[in-house]
Amino acid sequence: MKLGEIKKLIGAEILAGEDKLSVLEIDTACGADLMSDVLAFTHENTLLCTGLTSAQVVRTAEVAGLSGIIFVRGKRPSDDVIALARERGIPLMATCLPLFETCGVLYGAGISGTYIREQHGPSPASGV
Amino acid sequence: MSCCGQPEGAGGAGGADGASGVMISMEFPIVQYDFAAAGEAAARIKQILRQLGISSDLVRRAAVAAYEAEMNLVIHAIGGSLSLVVDSGRITLTSRDEGPGIPDISLAMREGFSTASDEVREMGFGAGMGLPNMKRCSDLFNIESNMGAGTVVTIVIGVN
């Protein structure tokens, strides 16, 4: 579904990436406050729901190729973090719902989870 | 920071078929406790690898490993650098610092073990996942540490 539909479902406010509301298609999401878990176990093009508002969330989104970030429990990042997200083209939204309910609403509306269960191992064809 | 087309060995890589033409060789200085900039080197590395036309899966693995390495340098080291070398066969990331060194590497490699402060944990890191995540992203992973002298982490990702 479109990012704009997700915004309506969870009553969110858009903080960055307004231009993507009607165009960005979201199929998968995850909920986490631990950025190393997001880096290790999520696929690209995933929407992250988190209670963490530091710049590192935006950095994680950039490195891991996430679709966007939803801040839960009424939390709001600082202006610096919003500016960084705008600069990097990462949509940010804020909702008053807690993490569990945010994930539940999205899951109930047909958004799938994303979790890499297999650990990466050396590929035989890698030549190293 | 440099770019060159001169053949040179990708440091610490070993194996494979010896040195091949280096497409890119860069070094990013990383400053202790500079949390505002942490992640900038990883983002640049991701951008460079993309521009080289490397497949998105490999780019992502390299970017994740670079970011974890960068966070480790910012959190734990007294200053260091992250280098990127790309040749036709592999991506090599090398994290070097001047200390303090890791007293017990096997403990540091254990998921969940961390010596990070509460401040770092509040940023979503410091959960003892950094080194294991780097290893997870690598085809070849090596870590050497000497107390007082520093730590060198080498991550090699094969490019087909």
Encode pLDDT of B115-142 as tens digits.
Answer: 999 989 988 899 999 999 999 999 999 9
Of A35, A125, A126, the CB nearest to B124: A35
Find residue A112's DSSP bridge partners: A28
The rounded distance, in Å, linking the Cα atoms of B77 and B111 is 19
B39 with A60: Cβ contact below 8 A: yes
Residue B131: in which H helix or E strand, if any?
Answer: helix B130-137
The rounded distance, in Å, linking the Cα atoms of A93 and A70 is 5
Residues of chain B positioned with their CB less than 8 A from the CB of A37: 127, 129
Contacts of residue B157, defined as CB under 8 A and 6 or more positions apart, other chains included, come to A126, A128, B58, B61, B62, B65, B90, B91, B92, B93, B137, B138, B139
Which residue of chain A has the CA closest to B88?
A: A127
Residues of B in CB contact (< 8 Å) with A are 13, 15-17, 35-36, 38-40, 42-43, 46, 56, 60-61, 63-64, 66-68, 71, 89-90, 122-125, 127, 129-130, 133, 136-137, 139-140, 156-160
Residues of chain A positioned with their CB less than 8 A from the CB of B122: 54
pLDDT at B20: 58
pLDDT at B5: 31
pLDDT top residue among A123 and A98: A98
DSSP-assigned letters across all residues of B35-84? TTTTTHHHHHHHHHHHHTT--HHHHHHHHHHHHHHHHHHHHH-SSEEEEE
Tens of pLDDT along A21-33?
Answer: 999 999 999 999 9
Nearest CA-CA distance, residue A14 and chain B, Å: 22
A54 with B123: Cβ contact below 8 A: yes
Q: Does A52 touch chain B (CB under 8 A)?
A: yes
Q: Picking from A79-83, A111-115, B100-104, which range would have the lowest pLDDT averaged per residue?
A: A111-115
Contact B49, B62 (CB under 8 A): yes
Of A39, A62, A126, the CB nearest to B133: A39
pLDDT at A118: 52
CA B26 to the chain's CA centroid: 12
pLDDT at B10: 36
Which DSSP letter does residue B119 get? H
Q: What is the mean pLDDT of residues B82-93?
A: 96
Measured in Å, how far apart are chain B's first and last C-alpha atoms? 26
Q: Which two tokens stand for residue B30?
A: 């990383």
3-state secondary structure of A107: helix
Does residue A121 register a pLDDT over 70?
no
Confidence grade of residue A116 (pLDDT, cut at 50, 70, 90)? confident
Of B56, B137, B139, the CB nearest to A123: B139
A62 with B46: Cβ contact below 8 A: yes
Checking DSSP bridges between strand B80-87 and strand B90-97, what pairing results, if any? Answer: antiparallel
Residues of chain B positioned with their CB less than 8 A from the CB of A39: 64, 67-68, 133
How does B60-98 read in b/e, with b if 16+ C-beta sit within 10 Å? bbbbbbbbbbbbbbbbbbebbbbbbbbbebbbbbbbbbe
Find residue B80's DSSP bridge partners: B30, B97
Checking DSSP bridges between strand A112-113 and strand A28-31, what pairing results, if any? Answer: parallel
Suggest the residue from A30, A33, A36 to mutate for an interface test with chain B (most B CBs closer than 10 A): A36
Nearest CA-CA distance, residue A75 and chain B, Å: 14
The rounded distance, in Å, linking the Cα atoms of A109 and A100 is 14
Q: What is the mean pLDDT of residues B54-81?
A: 96
Nearest CA-CA distance, residue B3 and chain A, Å: 23
Residues of chain B positioned with their CB less than 8 A from the CB of A87: none
